Chains A and B, each alone.
Chain A
Amino acid sequence: EAQVTQNPRYLITVTGKKLTVTCSQNMNHEYMSWYRQDPGLGLRQIYYSMNVEVTDKGDVPEGYKVSRKEKRNFPLILESPSPNQTSLYFCASQGAGGFPDTQYFGPGTRLTVL
């Protein structure tokens, strides 16, 4: 089954404690991205990756890092989380060319930073 998986699904942490949210897709997609979703602000892109070792900033990259060492994985790293990063996070992937025809979303990770 074609899917995007994220882990963990729920996470409560404290300010400053480094964390990683994993994202994996089994569709051999080149393009992957991370979004955060906040009430009244909608989905905002954090980072995206056009292919292995190719990443770029989205609209709200501050406080986040990503890496793309393998095609299937695109982890999101919060080196020093702060309460304003409390949000619902989605990973997404799509096929060749970065053309967002069918973008598949993961199930989401609800992060709370205390």
Chain B
Amino acid sequence: QKEVEQNSGPLSVPEGAIASLNCTYSDRGSQSFFWYRQYSGKSPELIMSIYSNGDKEDGRFTAQLNKASQYVSLLIRDSQPSDSATYLCAVTGTASKLTFGTGTRLQVTL
């Protein structure tokens, strides 16, 4: 089992819709959870971090964490073509090591 799992996609959503990206992790002791956005050929950029169960909102982005289910998600409201990118889930495990998922490619269509 991979430590951090994501569906590779592509996830295709129409402009203006809500994009829902999901991530599961295997280490029950994980403490910190992150979402990075990566445009093709560019470096990852941190867009959300979440540390406790529940929702965290920042503009059009909402991160959701459920530690009991070992599940973290990212919702993007009012999706724009500029949101088309690969979204990387990253988790800090018990050894304080940051582990990345392989990413979900999001395509926002006009």
Contact = CB atoms under 8 A, between A and B. Distances in A.
The reply to whether chain A is a binding partner of chain B is yes
B32 A40 contact: no
A90 interface: yes
- The binding surface of chain A is classed by DSSP as loop
Contacts of A100: 32, 34, 90, 92, 96, 98
B108 to A, nearest CB: 22
A84 interface: no
28 contacts: A35-B100, A40-B8, A40-B102, A41-B102, A42-B100, A42-B101, A42-B102, A42-B103, A43-B44, A43-B88, A45-B97, A45-B98, A45-B99, A58-B97, A90-B43, A90-B44, A98-B96, A100-B92, A100-B98, A101-B32, A101-B49, A102-B46, A103-B46, A103-B98, A106-B43, A107-B42, A107-B43, A108-B43
Interface of B: 8, 32, 34, 41-46, 49, 88, 90, 92, 96-103
Interface of A: 35, 40-45, 58, 90, 98-103, 105-108
